[in-house]
Structure 1
Amino acid sequence: MGQGLQSRLMGMLDVVYPDLDSGFLADQLIQAMGLTADTPAPPDHTNNWSESDTLLITYADSIQRSDEKPLVTLRRFLHEQFGGTLSAVHILPFFPYSSDDGFSVMDYLAVNESHGSWRDIEAIAREFRLMADLVINHMSARSRWFENFRKRVDPGQDYFYEAAPDTDTRLVVRPRTSPLLTPVQTEDGERYVWCTFSEDQVDLNFRNPKVLLEFVGIIRYYLERGVQWFRMDAVAFLWKEAGTSCIHLQQTHELIKILRVLIEHHTPDAVVITETNVPNRENLTYFGNANEAHVIYNFSLPPLLINTLVTGNCRHLKTWLMSMPPAQIGTTYLNFIASHDGIGMRPTDGLLTEDEKQTLISTMEHFGGKVSYRQTSGDGQQAYEINIALYDALKGTEDKGPDKWQLQRFICAHAIMLALEGIPAFYIHSMIGTENDYDRMEHTGRLRSINRAQWNIEDLEARLADPLSHHSKVCGELKRLIGIRRKQPAFHPNATQFTLHLGLQVFGFWRQSVRRDQSIFCIYNITDEVRQVALSDINLIGTDCWVDLVSGLKIDDLSGEITLKPYQSVWLSNRE
């Protein structure tokens, strides 16, 4: 097995570092991960998830109490509100940082003292599967590594990617409008460093294998502290090559494979997730041949689902769903509608027309949202993401504006997400119905802060305890739906999925358990008007007994119709 591991690594290393001794480097990587020559390989094609898995996404300090560290407050809140409901939690970067709410890391091996300690992280990991960010593309310009880069000493002097100021970067794809090359003064004079995201986030140089070895050590450190799921942040930009787009290059894919092999040999049930906010076809490549990411984000789902619910037309959502390949065993999708970032527009390329994109943007702006832009080839700019809290994004429709159906529309969106093939992930502010935070956005000067509110725990708990509060209604109903989902084999992330054709105002799909002992027909009215669905159009098996898992209503007459109120969700199952 040990020789097998070395051989596997060498094949991938030969692609990334063709001029180096791949056998020697493979041995260094194996040692850095704490493995040995006889470490057994993990079983192939294993699903390290089930229908009982639901993920929560949160910052360490999204919920605060004045007299304690936020990670302590978060752990207690998770335990009291979601124990037995959620199985996993993604704590966004909890390291010391200099900008971008954590994604400009200063020290990968430390916990931000203002948040808490590794002991607090480990306490959460004992109750929930813990997902952490591997901020692998770039590092803070205020980090020790970068200070060493300036001083031209190790570790760090050759850890960051440099380019000549006259480098032709016209083909480079990136999500920002800031300058790509930033001049910095070093002991060797002025150097230009590559900054895909901002001048404070300097891209790391993976052409230097020492950087890869450093990250293997970092990953091992996280594993030993309870991290099981790894979100590889901005990984698509990892490798740079002159004259190319510098995104999705083959060396990047090989580096992901290398890290996955090492991670699974250390912890067989660990999971690698790639964060690649790009058009759908590009995103799918990160599955590789079931040997890269175990899980990829369904980045097209948020804009398409929001567009469906504000237009009352599911044509594009249905077309996209029919085009999605079933994930191989051992891989799956991560379904989400909201996150700490905005609603990405690049994943709508080829799925919405330019006019439809602009109409969606205008609707979201009408509901209080903001828009950020990215640089395109030459001097052009294009909408990159819409910044808005999901509860406000669903406050009305494209043609009528805000209406009385905001809560129902919001619940419908999540009922769709919960039933789709893949693992559902809830942003904490969706779970509690947080609205646009304009004060925080103005305070930070960053558009994304509109959806990064920070709650005082006493205020939040009071609202969740108030049955008339929309926060209480949202949280209560979402927990109820998650509870139903957890018990259904047909909602396993890899269970069969088939799109139904029920017109453009009713969205539907069918799920069947791996053992074929349960079928669930998931049907949704995505409009603000009452709709009728003929049961004969769904082809329910007459010898089975059918029940709506959401309402508990039993279906006795299969020749009849079901009446769907505005934004009502129905999960018709042949077992209770």
Structure 2
Amino acid sequence: MSVSVARPLLPVVIDHLCRIYPERDATELADQIFAAMHLDHEAFSSELHRNKWDESDIWVITYGDSISEAGEAPLKTLKKFSDAYLKPEISGIHILPFFPYSSDDGFAVINYSQVNDSLGDWGDIEAIGQDYDLMADLVVNHCSQRSPWFENFKQRKDPGKDYFVEADPSADLSDVVRPRTSPLLCETQTLDGLRHVWCTFSHDQVDLDFSNPAVLIEMIRIIRRYLDQGVRIFRMDAVAFVWKEIGTNCVHLPQTHEIVRLLRTMIEAHTDDAIVITETNVPNHENLSYFGNANEAHAVYNFSLPPLLLHALVSGTSEHLKRWQMSMPPAQTGTFYFNFIASHDGIGLRPANGLLSQGDLDELVNTMQSFGARISWRAVADGRNEPYEINVALYDALQGTSKGPDRWQQQRFLCAHAVMLALEGVPGIYIHSLLATQNDYERLELTGQNRSINRHKWDFSALTGKLEDATSHHAQCFSTLKSLIAIRVKQPAFHPNAFQAVLHLGDEVFAFWRQSLNRNQSVFCIHNMTDQVVVIPINSINLTSLDLWEDLISGDNYSVEYESLSIAPYGFVWLTNRAVR
């Protein structure tokens, strides 16, 4: 239920600040934050538990230069491609970091307030934001060693001299959670001598020190700039690591959660329909904590879905996928799961901890390596390294099963997307999955970075040629995916917050029931996880005799008089009592 509540903004902000900085003057800090956000202290209206999304929300994730054409700014090419090929099915576009950067394909930001001139300019960003819901990255945890702030840190000048986390290399940092194998501290020469700065991800990505309120205020100035340029959806990158305390694991600390709440408060105070999504590639129960009580992130990346779905499709059993899905709490009204099955990074394995056995994980890693994948590693507390993520293009990841490659690659790939499109939440489709791009070994060799295998750069003419060639697997997958999306966005039962329940029809299938918020439409979604035909007794699906049931995908009709439903290898049906065409 949506409840409209008028609240004075100042006391809300002061409360956040008292929790983050109990030793500081919260009123003075609040004044600085309001000035940075260009807001006054007057009351604002906030609707608690309000959904700002519906079944028509489908977002594409892409780099600004994933598609380019000679003589044209890549952001203009992205807009041209989106208008010609993605409308009307796609409602939003997440442009991965489009700022000047020094490494990690954009996530080592040099200047947060500029657009990388090799991509275009703010006018190109605004043009995309005028026609699509625009998502941008708030790279909140770290910035580049080449940023002006870090240069000032080395020169001991403002702003920047106290913007970064320093630590004594003799301190016990063994409890700190690491997503990488590189040393945590990086030696840096400054005018005051040698310092050791904290680098969670790489030595080119230096962690910002949010214990200094000036860093928080800088980030709020950046947020205001993005809002002014048309950004509506904020992806808070690596936000779990922003607060550090020696003697803790330095992840998910209370101040981190309070900073997310404060940033959401300021973003919504400026733009009521803006959305905050947290990106926390961590075990499932930790990830869910960023919902708070529907007062923190509007959405969390559903990180456990990619490894569990991949495992189900290459192992032929949905056992673990079903068990996980049954344990997932429905997202409260005013929150949603951001579902994805491929990304610019890789398929994270930490979110599968406790959901897949070590044997399952080892088999999955070995299978993916046999399909050309690379494996990225992280350091753990006992000094070992363990697999952190699988780097692979999803199309190639699904070329076979643990038994080896087979002839079902394309159907298996489409089945994976059908699951994502039908699940509770908002789907996010990586551009290279939408286009069925394969492993890019040339780019991998060029950069020496594992993640480059799934960051292909398409030439616009070459890509459109593929999409216009009906014999191309790119065209076939793209056409089918667009058809599935066109169906999905019309069905009220696929609202991100519509009811969902897992169906127990055997481990060979992954099946669940969706029901619209007004209960008028039901959809039974049944997906074959195997390379064999699966026969489902109709009476096991619990179809009501009062309705004639239609498969949204094929258009075939069914009733309770049918004895069984046959589903082809990696086939799927979406049975509904009230199709919307």
TM-score (norm 1): 0.99
Q: Distance in 2 between matches of 1:41 and 1:154?
A: 37
SS at match of 2:201: coil
- Contact 2:149-2:163 at 8 Å conserved across structures: yes
Mapping 1:155-554, distance limit 5 Å: 155-399=159-403, 401-554=404-557
Q: Which range moves more in the overlay, 18-27 or 132-141?
A: 18-27
Q: Distance in 1 between matches of 2:506 and 2:558?
A: 22
CA-to-partner distance for each residue in 1:237-290, whole Å, 9 max, x for gaps? Answer: 000001000000000000000000010110010000000000000000000111
Q: 1:9 corresponds to which residue?
A: 13
SS at match of 2:49: coil
- Contact 1:2-1:38 at 8 Å conserved across structures: no
Quick one: which amino acid aligns to residue 199 of structure 1? H
Q: Is 2:57 the counterpart of 1:53?
A: yes
Quick one: which amino acid aligns to residue 416 of structure 1? V
Q: Distance in 2 between matches of 1:84 and 1:459?
A: 23
Q: Distance in 2 between matches of 1:180 and 1:460?
A: 41
CA-to-partner distance for each residue in 1:18-57, whole Å, 9 max, x for gaps? Answer: 1101122122212221211224132111111100000100
- Contact 1:72-1:120 at 8 Å conserved across structures: yes
Q: 1:25 corresponds to which residue?
A: 29
Per the TM alignment, residue 557 of structure 1 is displaced from its structure 2 partner at its CA by 4.5
Q: Distance in 2 between matches of 1:2 and 1:182?
A: 47
Q: Distance in 1 between matches of 2:387 and 2:41?
A: 50
Computed over aligned residues only, the root mean square deviation of the Cα atoms, in angstroms, reads: 1.0
Q: 1:150 corresponds to which residue?
A: 154
SS at match of 2:565: strand
Structure 2 residues not aligned, in runs of 5+ = none
CA-to-partner distance for each residue in 1:290-342, whole Å, 9 max, x for gaps? Answer: 11100001100000000000011000000000000000000000000000011
- Contact 1:2-1:36 at 8 Å conserved across structures: no
Per the TM alignment, residue 514 of structure 1 is displaced from its structure 2 partner at its CA by 0.4
Q: Distance in 2 between matches of 1:3 and 1:364?
A: 52
SS at match of 1:414: helix
Shift >4 Å, 4+ stretches: none
TM-score (norm 2): 0.98
- Contact 1:3-1:37 at 8 Å conserved across structures: no
Q: Distance in 1 between matches of 2:52 and 2:112?
A: 26
Per the TM alignment, residue 3 of structure 1 is displaced from its structure 2 partner at its CA by 7.0
Quick one: which amino acid aligns to residue 290 of structure 1? A
Q: Identity rate of aligned residues, in percent?
A: 57
Quick one: which amino acid aligns to residue 305 of structure 2? L
SS at match of 1:383: strand
- Contact 2:545-2:560 at 8 Å conserved across structures: no
Q: Distance in 1 between matches of 2:161 and 2:323?
A: 50
Structure 1 residues not aligned, in runs of 5+ = none
Q: Distance in 2 between matches of 1:558 and 1:516?
A: 24
Q: Which range moves more in the overlay, 30-39 or 232-241?
A: 30-39
Q: 1:131 corresponds to which residue?
A: 135
SS at match of 2:44: coil
Quick one: which amino acid aligns to residue 361 of structure 1? V
Quick one: which amino acid aligns to residue 534 of structure 2? R
Q: Distance in 2 between matches of 1:201 and 1:475?
A: 36
Compared with structure 1, are the counterparts of its residues 7 and 39 closer, same or farther at alpha carbon in structure 2 (3 Å cutoff)?
Answer: closer
Q: Distance in 2 between matches of 1:46 and 1:556?
A: 37
- Contact 2:99-2:110 at 8 Å conserved across structures: yes
Q: Distance in 1 between matches of 2:233 and 2:561?
A: 44
